[in-house]
Amino acid sequence: MARPVTLFTGQWADLPLETLCEKAKDFGYDGLELACWGDHFEVAKADDAYCAAKRDLLARHELKLFSISSHLVGQAVCDRIDERHQAILPDYVWGDGDPEGVRQRAAKEMVATAEAAKRLGVNTVNGFTGSSIWHLLYSFPPVSAAMIDAGYTDFANRWKPILDRFAALGVRFALEVHPTEIAFDLASAERALEAVGNHPAFGFNYDPSHFGYQGVDYVEFIYRLGARIFHVHMKDVGWSATPTAAGVFGGNLNFGDRRRYWDFRSLGRGNIDFEEIIRALNRINYQGPLSVEWEDSGMDREHGAAEAADFVHQVDFTPSAVAFDAAFGE
């Protein structure tokens, strides 16, 4: 049986969850991946009754639930905090905006998110970690090895206590490897895993769209870190075959600007080779959901979300249980 296809609700948080449930079912999805913002899943309200009500809502629409996602709060755990974060954080996490206070409150909220996930009955929380060293990405003025080491140490010191609580609850944290995070490609993902001592609660939300335009081998990521892939996002990205006005770094241009070298695309309309991804996921025996994170600045999102559900259902397949030429041996 092929894997369930779910819809990440982060890009739909302007809609009430009940409205989105109706749409997602019509689009052809098997379930949802609930974002911890909007009214989709509010950690501060997530007592037993609240969680039961969310479960009941999804069940009424015949939708399954495998994970929740806390990208926005997770970002603040390690980040260099500035005014941008106020727009993405709950007021009680932002508080007075003092950077270290924000980071500490974000860490407590991630623990609360794991506890809420446990009450909700899911064992995976996807999200971001933030990074104290992302601004050092390009090494000029020269960046010393000690400065990078300090960034991974900061990440480990802030996240290990969170991960310990996750592990005690039987919940896993899946970092979406992504620019601006402590892990943004295969090499940095391996280093992040090492930094937390291969903590059993720490793994990855695999999303190829953040690798392709960087030149990262997104299929090799599956083979190298397959045991740590706790969840999968299906998202496409297109990049130009010829030089453009803005390169990989984006030229400070917004998504959707035709001068960009790369941009996110509705599934099947970009450059990502999903055939090879599915074959690799089959080889590592990944059996979790394939969750569509739909982003395409040039397309109506309802059209795109329905198209994406159909694409994933078609591209996914169950691996063979026997060698194709086994019959010749009879």
Which residues neighbour 137 within 8 Å (Cβ) at sequence distance 6 or greater? none
Please give the chain's pLDDT, 330 residues, in tens.
489 999 999 999 999 999 999 999 999 999 999 999 999 999 999 999 999 999 999 999 999 999 999 999 999 999 999 999 999 999 999 999 999 999 999 999 999 999 999 999 999 999 999 999 999 999 999 999 999 999 999 999 999 999 999 999 999 999 999 999 999 999 999 999 999 999 999 999 999 999 999 999 999 999 999 999 999 999 999 999 999 999 999 999 999 999 999 999 999 999 999 999 999 999 999 999 999 999 999 999 999 999 999 999 999 999 887 766 666 666
- The topology (CATH level 3) of 5-329 is TIM Barrel (3.20.20)
Cα distances from 282 to residues 133, 215, 278, 287, in angstroms, run 35, 23, 6, 8
Contact yes or no for 303/81 (Cβ under 8 A): no
| pTM for this entry | 0.96
Contact yes or no for 177/210 (Cβ under 8 A): yes
Rounded Cα gap, residues 94 and 89, in angstroms: 6
Rounded Cα gap, residues 213 and 150, in angstroms: 28
